């Protein structure tokens, strides 16, 4: 259970519950060993807001194991073959085959269960060329600060092992005794510097953790002082940091942040794939293996580090042997508490190490006490081999028998050897298992150390059990070596992590390493004091860096700058820490309880599919959170608000080897399984938003939705709830604009098998509630089919219309005597050579939109084009009761072009842009020889051409006799009023009511919109159109609908290409009349017409008119009329039209080279897009057929009844 000690976090919750991501600090320290403890203390004393995170638990003296079963329960073994034991066990053992390493996991790090020997850094080490010269400047001062804090003490007496070692070395001239000072309290009197500590009882159990509270471990000095500082220090235990990620706002635009807002902190520190806290400074102090692993994992998520990461690893030339059965008076085994009364202090084993001898050739041998809780078999045969004989098992049996009958086992002790290895070991990360592996450094002194151990055995007698490993160490260093540049190491001498780039001194601002992994060469003896000195050096510069940063960004420190040096480095007189006071004034609470873990549901999901036609697999872990239900109306079963349990965070990774060869990790993600949009009130969305990071440093944004519409009840429910429509965008740094970023679309799908697996693997106490609310949302969407939201309730007086450029209205009498109109806009400034004629579709004004800041007319005027909009006999303000598309092509379009040429001269040409029915009509006019192609500069058509390929639903409606019957029902008046405010006959009301019942993919709360959709199908994707424009289009621009032209559209739709009003093929047989450049645009998200409409036309023109410039574009995300009505049409559609016209004008001037703008938008679609209405197959079409036939029969009988026929 994770514990939090924090003065400021109590009661901190928002409306969605407690969120670690909202918690930020000036600095976060990962690891509480010698390096992390020093950094926490020095920063806290400087008034900096600090958080210390520790993987292990906090240990009281009474918690340490005292027997073999207890100690085995606190062991975690990691090996290449697997692992066992708790991840946060006290003893972390790493077996690499030929080498072995041990680390300590707990608040205080290695100081909890080591000998605590404090030895000054040897002069030989500081002469090593790898040793940073910058450290020499203040090394003595840093060591003095550390000694003042720890206050190591001498052994009060010479214990038995020390006596034996002294006698063994008396005849040896090549070795000399070393200083032995330990961070153990030997003082019996209560002095200020030993407050709260008990005196050492010389039990010899230091290596299993002092059970008598005599150890001066980090939690009792540095960390304790950090917590007591005025600014306080948050301590989080039992939480393992997995990796760190640079916040998006550091190097990326705001689009790189998953929540669409800038975060104030520079770094995110992740506990798992989902939870993180933020900080401006991160200090990695997780030990050699832990720090290196975090950097490796961070590198996989885009953190650029030196290629030297993992190199320079040293195990300090350490190895361990066990001397047993000696005839000398050795007392090298720890005591149980019951044995204290029988043995006086001077005859007890003493602290772990009481003697140390250093050879002139550079290695040290120390005697050590084996704790009573240690299993002897590990030291006598399992991890060792015997010398001079190999009867280890017999020795152990004899010892056990002696112990059983009450006789103490044979006398023995641990012999610990260490020295100067080559420092050329290496740490690596196994990407398949995500585990750390390491290779120990070469140890040229190993044979000499073995001979020295054998000499000691010969002199003391007994059997020597040698380690089976080439290296067996608890004194690790390197892996993140300090150096002058990234070609030599990972960090600079101040602990800042290098950022490899052109500048060799560049570093990741705010990222530090502060532990033994910085040390670039072996220390050769106990390294604890050296690590403390390095940490003091790094902390000094770290504090200065943070203070300077806070000053520049107006984050004042709670301690004035002039007092920083005095408070950051104190001596033992100021240290008054009591172990029992750690909790005083601090509110400890479980992180999981903070985040409402009992209300969380863990969902796993795997999706496969394609991005831009390339295979892609997504593995997601979603934490659905219902931590705070107060804001949700539990009584509202069908309410519009998404239940909190259906919203959550997302972690995991994406794999698409065509994008990146390695995994793309989700560093920030969110999901809402019942997202709503007032634009589409009947539709439910499952929205995913994932920020991805790769090892190359690139970042990507994957956004997608599962779109659920009540189309034909629940016919598509299974497919829609499993299909994710996604966009995949590369996010570039702010200063990177050299190349166009990657931008892909695609679909991902959850298979039935994976869906069942997701259901089976649901975790959490609230998983039943999660399933209930998810199914409830589906029931509301597919069965009840009632809107959760509605379009904004606009009225005519609050509908804001943008100031529109002045225009001239021209009334034109056609050759058949009908009066049409044209609107003309003149641009300001220089005109382009050709005016533009815009010809709209059958329904809705799409070019001139007074509610929108950017429409087609405004865009053309801004580019200098004189703009004309044709209001033909189809237009709702002067509709003809009887007409055909042939009439528009034969009379209206030629009359409009004639009027333009009248004003511009007989030699002038016109750019023509046609949409939907307008595109059909201009092709009828050209191919029917009513308009000469020589008068047209260029032709651009959207979702129309000489071909008209329709979706399944549209084809079914046209093939049924629905249109003829409707015409007959309407009688003489072929104009259908759309606005509710207009008068309508009972027949017209009936027709409109029936039209609203005809199935369509998207439903709407606007009645006028529903009628139009009943006639044509959905004219646009509602999510692309703003609510203001939706209101204006349906309530103002289209008061009535002339329907007589639909008969010819029906014939064209059935044929798939333009025909005359009688269904005759009189147009496509004249390709010679289409001698002009063309552009055909189709929406990639099919509605009404399919991409074949533009594809066939494009191929037709290239075949029959190869001498002209022809283009085709399929623009993703757009449907039918939203190619002009869509909010982003000005960015994604209009540039294609403009570039086509400009290219034609350049050809007129003799310039045929495609300009940069042309290249930017010249992208043929790689796919045709899929119709959402075709997913259901033949079953859906049969359902439509049955409904349509039923409606026709109803209309027929109603007509007979009302007319009396």
Question: What tens digit of pLDDT does each residue of 820-859 get?
Answer: 999 999 998 888 889 999 999 998 899 999 999 999 999 9
Q: Residue 263: its pLDDT value, please?
A: 46
Low-confidence spans in the chain with pLDDT less than 70: 1-23, 171-173, 189-195, 249-263, 376-410, 554-598, 626-641, 734-739, 790-802, 1149-1205
Measured from the Cβ of residue 1195, the count of other Cβ atoms closer than 10 Å reads: 19
H-run or E-run covering 29: strand 24-30
For residues 321 and 414, is the Cβ–Cβ distance under 8 A? yes
Q: Which residues contact 129 (CB under 8 A, 6 or more apart)?
A: none
* pLDDT given for residue 796 in this prediction: 46
Burial class (CB in 10 A: 0-12, 13-18, 19+), 656: buried
The set of residues, in sequence order, having a beta carbon less than 8 Å from that of 761 and lying 6+ positions away, is: 604
State the pLDDT at residue 384: 60
Calpha distance 531→523 (Å, rounded): 10
Residue bearing tokens 């989902």: 274
The pLDDT score that the predictor gives to residue 403 is 52
Residues 6+ apart with CB under 8 A from 1192: 960, 961, 962, 965
Buried-state track 91-123, b at ≥16 Cβ within 10 A, e below 16: bbbbbbeebbbbbbbbbbbbbbbbbbbbbbbbe
Round to whole Å and give the CA distance between 1079 and 1162.
Answer: 11
- The torsion of the CA quartet 975, 867, 855, 931, rounded to 10 degrees, works out to 50
Q: 1030-1071, pLDDT tens digit by residue? A: 999 988 888 999 989 999 999 999 999 999 999 999 999 999
Which residue matches tokens 């651009």? 940
* Start-to-end C-alpha separation, the chain: 84
pLDDT digit string (tens) for 748-776?
Answer: 999 999 999 999 999 999 999 999 999 99
Q: Is the pTM above the cut of 0.85?
A: no
pLDDT at 417: 94
The structure tokens 């600079």 sit at 492
Whose structure tokens read 């093939």?
Answer: 959
Alpha helices in 805-874 (DSSP H): 856-862
Residue 396 pLDDT: 57
Distance CA 24, CA 553 (A): 15
Structural domains of the chain ordered from first start: 26-153+210-315+475-577 (3.50.50.60), 597-784 (no CATH)
Strands (E), 161-266: 175-177, 181-182, 233-237, 243-246
Handedness of CA 17, 22, 26, 30 (dihedral sign): positive
- CB neighbour class for 797 (10 Å; exposed up to 12, middle 13-18, buried from 19): exposed
- Are the CB atoms for 447 and 278 separated by under 8 Å? no
pLDDT of residue 110: 95
Helices 1046-1055, 952-959: axis angle to 10 degrees equals 120
Q: Residue 1195, CB half-sphere, CA atoms under 13 Å: how many?
A: 27
pLDDT, position 405: 53
Q: What is the DSSP-derived secondary structure letter of residue 1037?
A: I
């Amino acid at each position: 259970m994770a514990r939090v000690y924090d003065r400021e976090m109590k009661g901190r919750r928002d409306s969605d519950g407690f969120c670690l991501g909202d918690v930020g600090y000036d600095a976060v320290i990962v690891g509480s060993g010698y390096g992390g403890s020093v950094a926490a203390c020095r920063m806290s004393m400087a008034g900096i807001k600090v958080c210390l995170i520790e993987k292990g638990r906090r240990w009281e003296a009474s918690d340490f194991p005292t027997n073999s079963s207890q100690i085995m329960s606190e062991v975690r073994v990691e090996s290449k073959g697997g692992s066992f034991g708790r991840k946060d066990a006290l003893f972390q053992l790493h077996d690499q085959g030929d080498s072995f390493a041990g680390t300590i996991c707990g608040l205080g790090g290695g100081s909890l269960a080591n000998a605590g020997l404090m030895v000054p850094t040897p002069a030989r080490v500081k002469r090593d060329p790898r040793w940073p010269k910058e450290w020499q400047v203040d090394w003595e001062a840093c060591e003095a600060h550390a000694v003042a804090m720890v206050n190591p003490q001498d052994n009060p007496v010479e214990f038995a092992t020390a006596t034996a070692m002294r006698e063994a070395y008396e005849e040896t001239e090549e070795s000399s005794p070393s200083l032995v000072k330990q961070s153990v309290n030997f003082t019996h009197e209560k002095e200020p510097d030993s407050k709260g500590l008990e005196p050492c009882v010389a039990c010899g159990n230091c290596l299993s953790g002092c059970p008598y509270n005599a150890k001066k471990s980090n939690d009792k000095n540095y960390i304790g002082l950090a917590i007591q500082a005025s600014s306080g220090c948050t301590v989080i235990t039992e939480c393992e940091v997995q990796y760190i990620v640079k916040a998006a706002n550091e190097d990326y635009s705001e689009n790189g942040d998953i929540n669409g807002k800038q975060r104030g902190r520079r770094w995110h520190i992740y506990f798992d794939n989902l939870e993180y806290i933020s900080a401006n400074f991160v200090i990695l102090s997780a030990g050699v293996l832990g720090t290196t692993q975090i950097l490796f994992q961070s590198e996989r998520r885009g953190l650029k580090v030196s290629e030297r990461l993992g190199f320079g690893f040293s195990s300090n030339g350490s190895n361990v042997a066990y001397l047993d059965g000696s005839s000398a008076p050795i007392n090298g085994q720890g005591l149980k508490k019951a044995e204290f009364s029988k043995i006086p202090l001077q005859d007890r084993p003493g602290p772990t190490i009481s003697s140390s001898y250093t050879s002139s050739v550079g290695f040290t041998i120390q005697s050590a006490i084996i704790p009573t809780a240690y299993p002897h078999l590990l030291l006598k045969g399992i991890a060792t081999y015997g010398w001079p004989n190999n009867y280890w098992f017999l020795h152990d049996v004899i010892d056990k028998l002696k112990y059983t009958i009450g006789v103490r086992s044979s006398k023995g002790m641990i012999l610990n050897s260490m020295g100067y290895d080559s420092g050329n070991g290496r740490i690596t990360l196994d990407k398949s298992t995500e585990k750390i592996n390491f290779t120990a450094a070469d140890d040229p002194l190993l044979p000499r150390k073995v001979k020295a151990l054998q000499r000691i055995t010969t002199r003391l007698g007994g059997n020597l059990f040698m380690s089976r490993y080439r290296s067996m160490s608890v004194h690790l260093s390197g892996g993140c070596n300090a150096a002058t540049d990234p070609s030599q190491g990972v960090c600079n001498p101040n602990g800042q992590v290098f950022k490899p780039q052109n500048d060799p001194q560049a570093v990741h601002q705010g990222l530090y390493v502060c532990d033994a992994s910085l040390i670039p060469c072996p220390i050769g003896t106990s390294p604890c004091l050296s690590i403390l000195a390095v940490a003091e050096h790094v902390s000094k510069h770290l504090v200065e860096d943070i203070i300077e940063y806070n000053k520049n960004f107006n984050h004042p420190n709670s301690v004035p700058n002039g007092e920083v040096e005095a408070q950051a480095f104190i001596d033992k007189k100021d240290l008054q820490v009591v172990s029992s006071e750690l909790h005083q004034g601090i509110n400890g609470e479980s992180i999981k309880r903070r985040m409402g873990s009992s209300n969380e549901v863990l969902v796993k999901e795997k999706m496969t599919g394609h991005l831009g036609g390339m295979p892609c697999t997504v593995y997601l872990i979603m934490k659905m959170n219902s931590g705070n239900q107060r804001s949700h109306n539990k009584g509202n079963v069908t309410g519009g608000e998404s239940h909190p349990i259906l919203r959550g965070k997302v972690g995991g990774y994406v794999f698409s080897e065509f994008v990146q060869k390695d995994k793309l990790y989700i560093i920030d993600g969110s999901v809402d399984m019942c997202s709503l949009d007032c634009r589409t009130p009947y539709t439910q969305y499952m929205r995913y938003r994932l920020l991805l990071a790769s090892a190359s440093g690139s970042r990507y944004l994957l956004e997608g939705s599962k779109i659920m519409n009540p189309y034909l009840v629940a016919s598509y429910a299974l497919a829609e709830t499993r299909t994710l429509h996604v966009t995949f965008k590369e996010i570039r740094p702010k200063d990177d604009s050299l190349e166009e970023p990657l931008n892909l679309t695609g679909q991902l799908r959850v298979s039935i098998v994976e869906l069942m697996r997701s259901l089976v693997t649901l975790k959490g106490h609230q998983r039943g509630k999660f399933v209930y609310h998810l199914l409830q949302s589906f029931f509301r969407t597919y069965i009840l089919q009632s809107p959760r939201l509605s379009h904004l309730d606009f009225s005519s007086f609050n509908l804001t219309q943008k100031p529109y450029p002045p225009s001239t209205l021209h009334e034109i009498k056609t050759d058949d005597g009908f009066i049409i109109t044209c609107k003309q806009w003149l641009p300001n400034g220089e005109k382009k050579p050709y005016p533009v004629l815009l010809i709209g579709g059958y329904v809705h004004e799409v070019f001139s939109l007074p509610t929108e800041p950017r429409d087609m007319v405004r865009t053309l005027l801004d580019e200098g084009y004189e703009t004309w909009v044709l209001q033909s006999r189809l237009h709702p303000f002067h509709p003809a009761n009887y007409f055909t598309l042939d009439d528009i092509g034969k009379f209206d379009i030629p009359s409009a072009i004639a009027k333009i040429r009248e004003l511009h001269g007989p030699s002038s040409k016109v750019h023509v842009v046609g949409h939907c029915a307008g595109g059909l009509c201009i092709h009828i006019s050209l191919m029917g020889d009513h308009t000469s192609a020589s008068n047209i500069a260029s032709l651009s058509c959207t979702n129309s051409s000489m071909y008209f390929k329709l979706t399944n639903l549209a084809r079914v409606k046209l093939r049924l006799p629905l249109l003829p019957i409707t015409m007959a029902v309407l009688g003489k008046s072929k104009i259908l009023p759309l606005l509710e405010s207009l008068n309508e006959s009972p027949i017209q009301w009936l027709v409109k009511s029936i039209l609203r019942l005809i199935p369509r993919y998207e439903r709407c709360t606007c009645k006028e919109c529903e009628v139009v959709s009943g006639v044509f199908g959905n004219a646009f994707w509602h999510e692309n159109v703003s609510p203001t424009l939706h209101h204006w289009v349906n309530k103002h621009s289209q008061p009535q609908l002339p329907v007589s032209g639909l008969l010819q559209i029906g014939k064209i739709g059935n044929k798939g290409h333009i025909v005359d009003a009688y269904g005759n093929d009189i147009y496509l047989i004249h390709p010679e009349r289409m001698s002009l450049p063309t552009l055909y645009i189709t929406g990639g998200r099919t509605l009404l017409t399919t991409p074949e409409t533009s594809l066939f036309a494009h191929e037709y023109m290239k075949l029959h008119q190869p001498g002209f410039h022809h283009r085709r574009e399929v623009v993703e995300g757009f449907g039918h009329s939203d190619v002009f009505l869509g909010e982003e049409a000005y960015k994604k559609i209009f540039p294609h039209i403009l570039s086509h016209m400009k290219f034609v004008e350049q050809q007129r001037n003799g310039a045929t080279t495609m300009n940069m703008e042309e290249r930017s938008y010249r992208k043929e679609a790689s796919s045709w897009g899929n119709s959402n209405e075709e997913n259901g197959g033949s079953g859906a079409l049969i359902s439509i057929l049955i409904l349509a036939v039923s409606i026709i029969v109803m209309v027929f009988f109603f007509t007979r009844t009302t007319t009396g026929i």
